[in-house]
Chains A and B, each alone.
Chain A
Amino acid sequence: MDAKEIIAARVAKEFKNGDFVNLGIGLPTKAVDYISKEVQINLHSENGFAGIWDTATPETLDKDVVDAGGSNVVLQSGGLFFDSVTSFEIIRGGHLDMTVLGALEVDEEGNLANWKIPGKLLPGMGGAMDLVNGAKKVIISMVHTARGNPKILKKCTLPLTGKGVVDMIITEMGVFEFIDGKLTLTELTPGVSLEELKAVTPASYEVALKN
Chain B
Amino acid sequence: MEKKIAINEIGSFLKDGMTISIGGFMGCGNAHSIIDEILKTDVKNLTLIATDTARDGFGIGKLIDDRRITKLYASHIGTNKETQKQVIEGFIDLELVPQGTLAERIRAAAAGLGGVLTQTGLGTEVQDGKDVINIDGKDYILEKPLHIDLAFIKAYKADKAGNLIYNGSTRNFNVPMAGAATVTIAEVEEIVENGTLNPNFIHTPFVYINHLIKA
A interface, CB within 8 angstroms of B: 45-49, 62-66, 68-70, 75, 81-85, 87-88, 91-92, 111, 122-130, 133-134, 159-164
Contact = CB atoms under 8 A, between A and B. Distances in A.
A92 B118 CA distance: 8
Interface in B63-107: 74-79, 84, 87-88, 94, 96, 98-101, 103-104, 107
Given A64-B170, A134-B120, A163-B122, 11 more contacts: A64-B156, A64-B169, A70-B26, A70-B28, A83-B203, A92-B118, A126-B75, A127-B75, A129-B120, A160-B125, A161-B124
B28 A65 contact: yes
B143 to A, nearest CB: 12
Nearest to A65: B168
Interface of B: 25-29, 51-52, 54-55, 74-79, 84, 87-88, 94, 96, 98-101, 103-104, 107, 118-126, 156, 166-176, 203
A83 B171 contact: yes
A163 B98 CA distance: 15
Nearest to B99: A127
B151 to A, nearest CB: 14
> Chain B CB within 10 Å — which of A75, A88, A159 has the most?
A88
A84 B119 contact: no
Contacts of B122: 133, 162-163
A27 B110 CA distance: 37
Nearest to A125: B98
Given A70-B28, A83-B174, A124-B76, A160 B123 contact: yes
Given A83-B174, A84-B103, A162-B124, A124 B168 contact: no
A174 to B, nearest CB: 27
Contacts of A49: 169
Contacts of B52: 124, 126
A92 B79 contact: no
Contacts of A47: 25-26, 28, 169, 172
Chain A CB count within 10 A is highest, among B99, B101, B171, for B99
B27 to A, nearest CB: 7
B26 A130 contact: no
A131 B181 CA distance: 27
A72 B79 CA distance: 15
A122 B169 contact: no
B101 to A, nearest CB: 7
Contact of B176 (A83, A128, A163): A83
A64 B167 contact: yes
Given A65-B28, A123-B77, A88 B171 contact: no
A156 to B, nearest CB: 11
Contact of B28 (A63, A163, A164): A63
A160 B28 contact: no
